[in-house]
Homo-oligomer: A and B are copies of this chain.
Amino acid sequence: MALRYDQTVPLARVLASYHNLAKPFKRYQTQPVWRGESPQKGRYREFLQCDADIVGASSPLADAEILNLVLNIYQNLGLNITIKINDRINFEGLEKKYVAAIDKLEKIGESGVLSEMVQKGMVEKEAQEALKTLQNKPLTANLQQILDHLKQMGTDMEKIKYEPTLARGLDYYTGMIFETVAEGSTGSICSGGRWDNLIGNFTGQNLPAVGFGLGFDRTVEVLKEQGILLETSSSASVLVTIFSPTYLANSLKVAEKLRANNINTELWLDADSKLDKQLKYADQKSIPYVVIIGPDEATSGKIALKDLTLKSQVLLSFPEVVDKLSNSR
């Protein structure tokens, strides 16, 4: 038995099996994947990976479309991000072991990178020169073209930052590469690039590809940190209480009608509980409102709506209750 460790190899196998898929072939895929990593915050053994790729398009327009998609996703989530981009061609002529050292620049600093390069066999002066040359590399024609397309799409170009020392996984990407960082947080939450050779290994047929993997769990962690995603102990807007067995039917009817009006409604589930117990439960679950239908309410055809935050109670008609609750969340 084996556990899926990515969604890219499965994609390559699909393309190897179905030769006549219309190209460019685009797909997104969201599934759990597994890694043997040590678990920590936002880093689990099992995690949800959201991939999107375009296969069969070698134009920089496809790269721009992928970056534009990442920007749109995070804009829709309300998260302020920066995408760091680079081009693999910048590392041409530099041995993999040195590129791996340079990729650690942010973690271990320049002196750390240089000493690792020296340790791996480069003369110190050469290492300094190689790093400096890399750091000063101008935008490649390919990246310039991608950025031009993004501008034409109306992208906020401040969200994109050229970083000539960014390397990422070394056996995989062939052109543009990128990482996404969120404001006020460290580590990449979405990364990818162009990978033109992998599918060919499976299919024999050469198929260019560009895409990304978005870390769902890490993205959720950041959304929580930024207070964009709130953790509440209940998603219900209101608890419909049961006054006594006599008024049970009234409560059931009102609960169903509230749900039909798209109010997230919790119903108390015991006809014999004291009202105090029900109110305590709503409080414990942070449910903001409580509906009470007792003898007075049943006679008047009105509903008592208790606001647990303000500790106030009003007598309302059903449409007034719907109105109040619709505007409360």
Contact = CB atoms under 8 A, between A and B. Distances in A.
Q: How large is the interface on A (under 10, 10 to 19, 20 to 34, 35 or more residues)?
A: 20 to 34
A153 interface: yes
Interface string A52-76: 0010010101100100100010000
A152 interface: yes
A77 interface: no
Contact of A152 (B65, B153, B233, B248): B248
A284 interface: yes
B154 A233 contact: no
A217 interface: no
A271 interface: yes
Contact of A153 (B233, B256, B271): B256
A270 B152 contact: no
A215 interface: no
A22 B61 contact: no
B253 A62 contact: no
Contacts of A253: 152-154
Contact of A270 (B61, B256, B270): B61
Contacts of A72: 259
A35 to B, nearest CB: 13
B269 A62 contact: yes
A285 interface: yes
A112 interface: no
A24 interface: yes
Contact of A252 (B1, B152, B249, B271): B152
A267 B152 contact: no
Contacts of A270: 57, 59, 61
A59 B271 contact: yes
> Most chain-B Cβ atoms within 10 A of its Cβ — which of A22, A154, A256, A259?
A22
8 contacts: A1-B3, A22-B281, A22-B285, A32-B32, A54-B269, A62-B269, A152-B253, A154-B253
